[in-house]
Structure 1
Amino acid sequence: MSIKNNLLQIKSQLPNHVTLVAVSKTKPVTDLMEAYNAGQLIFGENKIQEMTDKWQEMPKDIQWYMIGHVQSNKVKFMAEYVSLIHGVDSLKLLEEINKQAKKHDRIIDCLLQIHIAEEETKFGLDEKELDEILEILKQVQYKNIKIVGLMGMATFTDNQNQIKKEFQNLKTIFDKVSHLKTENCQLNTLSMGMSGDYKLAIECGSTMVRIGSSIFGGRN
């Protein structure tokens, strides 16, 4: 199957309220252009340098989502163009995004990453840290960021019950905080689910899925 056919098949199965992020990391621009020409405008990358190179080369109506772990000192390299930063897991990082966005007179959308997996290697906030950040956002006006939702990654396992439990846990947290509305915080997006588990994630309430290998094939 071609990239175009893969993409159209997945899109035909997604509910209208679910946003598809085509995870294009390590893939050449020719592959991304095939997806773009089939109507895909949202691409997810996990390395800022690679994303920036592709942004410079490709059409400017594409939205670039940073889906990898972000180091504060790298934010400046994408602040000019990035549409959504997925893995915000500290106040320090939020402040840096705000600072760099201001230099470009932009407001950058962010998702707060919640740690739901049993693996220690995954990044993310616990519930207490999430509450603390949301409390600070009520008091401090960061004018150049907007928190638009939460994201999380399930444990890398074949145990569907465990994955489901983790997704449901994130949905519960999301439901608890999604009523919070301030100028720079409106939680409408719940990003969870990848190629292997996105259908389960949607069942559990996901509104954004990150799909790479099912569109572009396995990674090189």
Structure 2
Amino acid sequence: MSIPTNLDSFRKNLSVNCQLIAVSKTQPVESIREAYDAGQRVFGENKVQELAPKYEALPKDIQWHLIGHLQSNKVKYIASFVHLIHSIDSLKLLEEVNKQAIKVQRTIDCLLQLHIASEETKFGFSEEEVMEMLTSDAFKKLSNIRIIGLMGMATFTENQEQIRREFRGLKSFFEKLKTTALPSTVMMKELSMGMSSDYKIAMEEGSTMIRVGTAIFGHRNYPV
């Protein structure tokens, strides 16, 4: 199937108020442009070193999302244009995003990544760490970032009930934060969960953003 056909298929099956992020990591500019020509405007990249040159090469009305693990020393390369950073997993990283946002006179929207999977290799805060950070004096000093929601990756498993439990737990915490008195720079609007293998469960559990790559573009075109 072609990229436009795959996109049409996903759009028809999207839940109401759920946005499709086409994950274009390792895909060439030509494939991204094909998706763009089919009407897709929101793309996700895992690595800054791929995202920055693609931003330069492609139309400027694309919304670029950084969805992979982000190192503090790479923030400066995307601060001027990134639409949303999904993978904030420490106060230190958030402070660097704020620092670079001030330099380019922007406010950068971010999601907090929660560790919801059983694998230790995945990044993210615990619920307790999120609450501690959001109520800290250090966080209140960050004037050029907005926390607009949460992101999580479920365990890579065929056990659909485990995946559902993990997504349901993240949604429960998301709802809890909505009713908690927090700084004005925190607003729980987006819940980014679900990828090619589990997006249907994620949508059933309340995801507002699904991150789909292989099911749209096919397998990766070159190694990273």
Question: TM-score, normalised to structure 2's length?
Answer: 0.95
Compute the displacement of 1:179 (Å).
2.8
Answer yes or no: is the 8 Å Cα contact 2:133–2:139 preserved in 1.
Answer: no
Indicate the residue corresponding to 1:107 in structure 2: 107
Distance between the aligned counterparts of 1:50 and 1:35, measured in 2?
Answer: 17
Question: Which AA in structure 2 matches 1:215?
Answer: I
Moved more, 55-64 or 177-186: 177-186
Distance between the aligned counterparts of 1:10 and 1:137, measured in 2?
Answer: 43
Structure 2 residue 51 is the aligned partner of structure 1 residue 51? yes
Indicate the residue corresponding to 1:133 in structure 2: 133
Distance between the aligned counterparts of 1:122 and 1:217, measured in 2?
Answer: 24
Find the residue that maps to 2:175 and give its secondary structure: helix
Residues 63-95 of structure 1: CA deviation (Å, up to 9, x unaligned)? 110000011111111111111001101111000
Correspondences of 1:85-104 after superposition (within 5 Å): 85-104=85-104
Structure 2 residue 23 is the aligned partner of structure 1 residue 20? no
Distance between the aligned counterparts of 1:148 and 1:21, measured in 2?
Answer: 16
Structure 2 residue 38 is the aligned partner of structure 1 residue 41? no
Compute the displacement of 1:55 (Å).
0.1
Q: How many residue pairs are counted as aligned between the two chains?
A: 220
Indicate the residue corresponding to 2:200 in structure 1: 199
Q: From the superposition, tell whether residues 139 and 63 of structure 1 become closer, same or farther in structure 2 (CA, over 3 Å).
A: closer
Indicate the residue corresponding to 1:173 in structure 2: 173
Distance between the aligned counterparts of 2:138 and 2:91, measured in 1?
Answer: 13
RMSD across aligned positions (CA)? 1.3
Indicate the residue corresponding to 2:75 in structure 1: 75
Question: Which AA in structure 1 matches 2:51?
Answer: M
Indicate the residue corresponding to 1:208 in structure 2: 209
Question: TM-score, normalised to structure 1's length?
Answer: 0.97
Compute the displacement of 1:141 (Å).
3.7
Q: From the superposition, tell whether residues 35 and 182 of structure 1 become closer, same or farther in structure 2 (CA, over 3 Å).
A: same
| Structure 1 runs (4+) greater than 3 angstroms displaced | none
